[in-house]
Amino acid sequence: MTQTPASPVPGDNSTAPWWTTAVFYQVYPRSFADSDGDGIGDLGGVREKMGYLELLGVDALWICPVMRSPQADGGYDVSDPRDIDPLFGGLAAMDELIAEAHDREIKVTMDLVPNHTSNEHPWFTAALAAAPGSPERSRYIFRDGRGEDGSQPPNNWPSIFGGPAWTRVTEADGEPGQWYLHIFAAEQPDLDWTNPEVADDFEKTLRFWLDRGVDGFRLDVAHGMAKPDGLPDMAEVSTKLLVNDDDDPRFNNPGVHAIHRRFRAVLDDYPHAVSIGEVWVEDNIRFGEYVRPDELHLAFNFRLAETPFTVEGVRAAITHSLDAVEAVGAPPTWTLSNHDVEREVTRYGGGKTGVARARAMMMVELALPGAVFVYNGAELGLPNVDDLPEEVLQDPVWLRSGRTERGRDGCRVPIPWEGATPPFGFTDGARSWLPIPADWAGRTVESQLETLHSTLSLYRLAIELRGTRPEFAGDRIEWYGSPDDALAFRRPGGLICVLNASSGPIQLPPGEMLLASAPVVDEHLPANAAAWLV
């Protein structure tokens, strides 16, 4: 390999590892493309669509979990971490996908789940069959219940998906016995990371996939794993589901960092590979701890995905995300949505306005230094589907909340590829695992590829410019003066990004227009739009 000589341009990062500026595309495999007609997306489907991903111009894929799983939580309940589920095509399909992606110079990262396993993992089956206090139970977090007869859970922790975070088991004698901890669904028992067997096995999993050619991992619940000594009660039990806050004893315990250092030591044997943590931590200093030089390479910063379309909100999200990593010298990351949150089009108000704002925010995130994560379907401007019929809902949140919270299925509806009626080429079968709204006919990949001003065309252009224009150089931004309810920043290479979140057009600063998310008339940028100038 030839090394690019160090450049005199300050902030030039042409010698930095590939992920520092990469555009990642998140594939939710169940919903991306189905190759075998069962109505559920699979790895063969991803492989068949690799030409599309190349056209879109992304550098890398993050593929949500495809390991063996009973699918109690869309694959985040893993029963064998070193095999691919037949639902997704088995190991051969993964090998073929990696080869096809690499042929097109697209990297492949997998999603691994260190915090918990499936309740069908052989370790958990063995733990249930074994006695309290046995080595089999010590891989998970089993405790005696409170109260005279142990009929109360060991502490007051709720599950993120609703209901208690503990489930009581029946012992060999047929009597109610110990409880096990599951911060997510009951089908996802938490592992005990103080047991060295757990870390040893996870290291085996990392090496297994790295040796098969993957380019890294997204690590699920990377702020989980370590639990506080004695599992103390929560001071205040929140009844809100799927939310995160920094005082939550279930997450972000100091012991987690030793675990990340152990992972990193493995990753360092494979210098081409990246680790990206799902880190729901608000405090900038504590967030930054996860990406110190001997821990994760990258961590998701969710501030943009949580921010409404306001100038103050967006500016604060950007500033905080940059500050959080600056002290430790790690690249920032940006994402507007993923498979756990409401799609940005809906978050920004839905309809035409929602789409316009989502297009603008995409240009903001792609103008920033660091790595960007695009969730499949965002490039089509898809909204959430909030009126899925109740009987098709699959997110465990729906049942665990006593059918009061619909959960995350609304952002997981399959991709419309082509044609005029559902399932829009997603599957050759009669129906997709979640129904696709009939009015997505105008949002298919096919129709958007043919339209110059479609959201898909805008994404393609934006990604291409970001990857090829020298004006995107440098790892800092400088804020520019701008009218009320607008913001502007400049990259050291010379790119200027302007976002108009006001209700009327604003005058653009002087410069050559590279791209705009909406038509610019007489140097005026319309409301709910962004522009790039050089």
Q: Which residues are catalytic?
A: 220, 278
Angle (CA) 33-103-114 rounded to 5° is 60
Q: Which residues bind Mg ion (CB under 5 A)?
A: 34, 36, 38, 40, 42
User: What does DSSP assign to residue 304?
Assistant: H
165 contributes a contact to ligand GLC by CB under 6 A: no
Site string for ligand GLC, 85-114 (x = CB under 6 A): ----------------------------x-
Distance CA 31, CA 412 (A): 6
User: What does DSSP assign to residue 363?
Assistant: H
Query: What is the size of the binding site for ligand GLC (CB under 6 A)?
Result: 9
Report the site for ligand GLC in 251-310 (rule: CB under 6 A). Answer: 278
221 makes contact, choosing from ligand GLC, Mg ion, none, with CB < 5 to 8 Å by partner type, with: ligand GLC
Figure out which of the listed residues 34, 42, 59, 73 binds ligand GLC, where binding follows CB under 6 A.
73
42 makes contact, choosing from ligand GLC, Mg ion, none, with CB < 5 to 8 Å by partner type, with: Mg ion
Give the residue from 125, 248, 243 showing the smallest Cα distance to 187: 125
What one-letter code names the amino acid at 50? M
**Token pair 């694959």: residue:** 75
Figure out which of the listed residues 63, 219, 221, 445 binds ligand GLC, where binding follows CB under 6 A.
221
Which C-beta is closer to ligand GLC: that of 221 or that of 317? 221
Distance CA 491, CA 474 (A): 6
Figure out which of the listed residues 42, 59, 220, 471 binds ligand GLC, where binding follows CB under 6 A.
220
Which C-beta is closer to ligand GLC: that of 56 or that of 191? 191
Report the site for ligand GLC in 373-402 (rule: CB under 6 A). Answer: none
Which C-beta is closer to Mg ion: that of 34 or that of 471? 34
What does residue 372 show for φ and ψ, rounded to 5 degrees?
-120, 140
Counting beta carbons within 10 angstroms of the beta carbon of residue 38, is it exposed (0 to 12), middle (13 to 18) or buried (19 or more)?
Answer: middle
Site string for ligand GLC, 178-197 (x = CB under 6 A): ------x-------------
Question: Nearest approach, Cβ of 72 to ligand GLC (angstroms)?
Answer: 10
CB atoms near residue 127 (< 10 Å) = 22
Question: Nearest approach, Cβ of 27 to Mg ion (angstroms)?
Answer: 13
Question: Nearest approach, Cβ of 45 to Mg ion (angstroms)?
Answer: 7
The torsion angle over the Cα atoms of residues 187, 188, 194 and 198, rounded to 10 degrees, is 90
Distance CA 487, CA 481 (A): 7
113 makes contact, choosing from ligand GLC, Mg ion, none, with CB < 5 to 8 Å by partner type, with: ligand GLC
CB atoms near residue 7 (< 10 Å) = 12
**Residues linked to residue 158 through DSSP beta bridges, in sequence order:** 164
Which C-beta is closer to ligand GLC: that of 221 or that of 273? 221
Residue 80 tokens read as 């064998």
36 makes contact, choosing from ligand GLC, Mg ion, none, with CB < 5 to 8 Å by partner type, with: Mg ion
What one-letter code names the amino acid at 231? L
34 makes contact, choosing from Mg ion, ligand GLC, none, with CB < 5 to 8 Å by partner type, with: Mg ion
Angle (CA) 276-301-468 rounded to 5° is 75
Q: Which residues bind ligand GLC (CB under 6 A)?
A: 73, 76, 113, 184, 220-221, 278, 339-340
